[in-house]
Structure 1
Amino acid sequence: MKLHSQFPYALYLVISEEACRGKDILKVAEQAIQGGVDIIQLREKQLNEPLFLERAKRLREITEKYGVPLIINDNPTITSKVNAAGIHVGNNDIRPTTLRQQPPFKEKLIGYSIEYLTQLDNLQTMVSDYLAISPVFRTDTKTDTVTEWGLEGISKIRQLTPKPLVAIGNLHAKNAKTVTKAGADCIAVVSAICGADQPQRAAYELKNAILT
């Protein structure tokens, strides 16, 4: 598997309290890192700002301990306050071009979700560091998406852009390799790790499936 030097991550975890189904989110995150997760995104759509900030701070302590980048979903203020490695945004969030104009985000990672092929030609894609292909396959954890890309969609996008591609959407150890073969640089998961009885083992099996 060939990794982009500017995005050298193979296994990406998107984590939230809801996805952890009653388990301690911080313990799940640490176990996932120990199992092989390379980068973590905190995605909390239900928390108020103070609680989101407190959770981000505590998660940042764990990711910093292991040298794993922390990405914050759609919240520039929290991203800046905890000095996260970057931010991830979609079509209905703040634009990557707007973020790049702000001093705190000139050097941070910016991820951008692709839901239409036409997005590959816009300025938002140009200034982003990686593109999330969402979803590859339909999933219950994210229902506000437009296109189900499938393997053919990943292959097509791979032909149209040199940007690092992060695939997400109903991915697990049994289909991860087919997705990287189709052109994804990185596999992102939610339930496959957050919902697992043993997050560390689940992460290990996923990482092994991607890299072998």
Structure 2
Amino acid sequence: MSARLLDPTVYLVTDTTQCGGPAGVVTTVGAAVGGGVTAVQLRDPGATTRELVDLGRALVALLRPRGVPLVVDDRVDVALAIDADGAHVGQSDLDPVSARRLLGPDRHLGLSVSTPEEAQDAAGLPPGTVDLLGVGPVRPTATKSDARPAIGFARLGDVTAATGLPCVAIGGLRADDVGALHEAGAAGSAVVSAVCGRPDPAAAARELARAWAEARAGRGSEARSRAATGAAS
């Protein structure tokens, strides 16, 4: 799978404080990838540029041999400096068209949205600008100090329905939310404390991966059951 088409099923967003420092981030990410994390976003708004670059390079060295993409939050410049697989920008960050121009055609670009209107705007950008929408926060979260108000699961469904782009839900999410996220049209869940704040990150990631596999299998079984019923009638 190319970086642009990253698998957002279990998308880990790092938190240096919750992980106990930069070394803890690397240890946590390594364990979580072993448990089933499919993509990692480096996020540390309190770090200096040098600190972010050093941590990013350590994560690239860890993740690239394992085939797990690394995306840098907000900082397109850092993503390029460390040869990351892409970047993720918010509504008040560098605009997506400019970010894509800097990243080039081969790196992933994600964009945060919270409303159907923002999702429609993203879908209306030049083709190939944005690869993934981060939608939320679904639940209230203390992880991000400037987070918008929680949108809830019903509003998440409104946002995913407003765009053809894949959407990953974020904001206070746990493994037992996965069924509702799947029904709302999310392609995965982006988590921070559900993995970074757990004593066993590998087990936490495994729980999330299992929940997504079960949710997708359940929907597939229901679809097959409906098709069989229709064919028999």
**Structure 2-normalised TM-score?**
0.83
Deviation by residue 1:47-73 (Cα, 9 ceiling, x = unmatched)? 111111010000111111211000001
Structure (1 or 2) with the greater helix fraction: 2
Following the alignment from structure 1 to structure 2, what is the Cα–Cα distance between the partners of residues 141 and 151?
19
Question: Amino acid of the residue matched to residue 117 of structure 1?
Answer: P
* Aligned match of 2:151: 149
The 10-residue stretch of structure 1 (16-25 or 41-50) with the greater mean CA deviation from structure 2: 16-25
Q: Secondary structure at the match of 2:134?
A: strand
Larger Rg: 2
* Aligned match of 1:73: 73
Question: Aligned-pair distance for 1:20?
Answer: 1.4
Question: Aligned-pair distance for 1:197?
Answer: 0.4
Alignment of 1:180 with 2:182, yes or no, is: yes
Q: Secondary structure at the match of 2:18?
A: coil
User: Does the CA contact (< 8 Å) of 2:120 and 2:163 recur in 1?
Assistant: no
Question: Aligned-pair distance for 1:123?
Answer: 5.2
Alignment of 1:88 with 2:98, yes or no, is: no
Question: Aligned-pair distance for 1:74?
Answer: 0.8
Structure 2: unaligned runs, 5 residues or longer: 215-233
Question: Amino acid of the residue matched to residue 196 of structure 2?
Answer: C
* Aligned match of 1:16: 15
User: For this pair of structures, how many residues does the alignment match?
Assistant: 207
Following the alignment from structure 2 to structure 1, what is the Cα–Cα distance between the partners of residues 124 and 59?
28
After TM superposition, the structure 1 = structure 2 runs for residues 1-212 of structure 1, keeping only pairs within 5 Å, are 6-21=5-20, 24-102=24-102, 104-122=103-121, 126=125, 127-212=129-214
Q: Secondary structure at the match of 1:24?
A: helix
Identity %: 29
Following the alignment from structure 1 to structure 2, what is the Cα–Cα distance between the partners of residues 207 and 35?
8
Question: Aligned-pair distance for 1:78?
Answer: 1.1
**Structure 1-normalised TM-score?**
0.91
C-alpha root-mean-square deviation of aligned residues, in Å? 1.8
User: Does the CA contact (< 8 Å) of 1:129 and 1:164 recur in 2?
Assistant: yes
Deviation by residue 1:67-120 (Cα, 9 ceiling, x = unmatched)? 100000111111001111110010111111111223x33221111000233212
Q: Secondary structure at the match of 1:18?
A: helix
User: Does the CA contact (< 8 Å) of 1:97 and 1:124 recur in 2?
Assistant: no
Question: Amino acid of the residue matched to residue 183 of structure 2?
Answer: K
Question: Aligned-pair distance for 1:8?
Answer: 3.1
Structure 1: unaligned runs, 5 residues or longer: none
The 10-residue stretch of structure 1 (186-195 or 16-25) with the greater mean CA deviation from structure 2: 16-25
Following the alignment from structure 2 to structure 1, what is the Cα–Cα distance between the partners of residues 170 and 62?
23
Following the alignment from structure 1 to structure 2, what is the Cα–Cα distance between the partners of residues 128 and 37?
22
User: Does the CA contact (< 8 Å) of 1:72 and 1:87 recur in 2?
Assistant: yes
Question: Aligned-pair distance for 1:124?
Answer: 7.6
User: Does the CA contact (< 8 Å) of 2:10 and 2:190 recur in 1?
Assistant: yes
Question: Amino acid of the residue matched to residue 105 of structure 1?
Answer: G
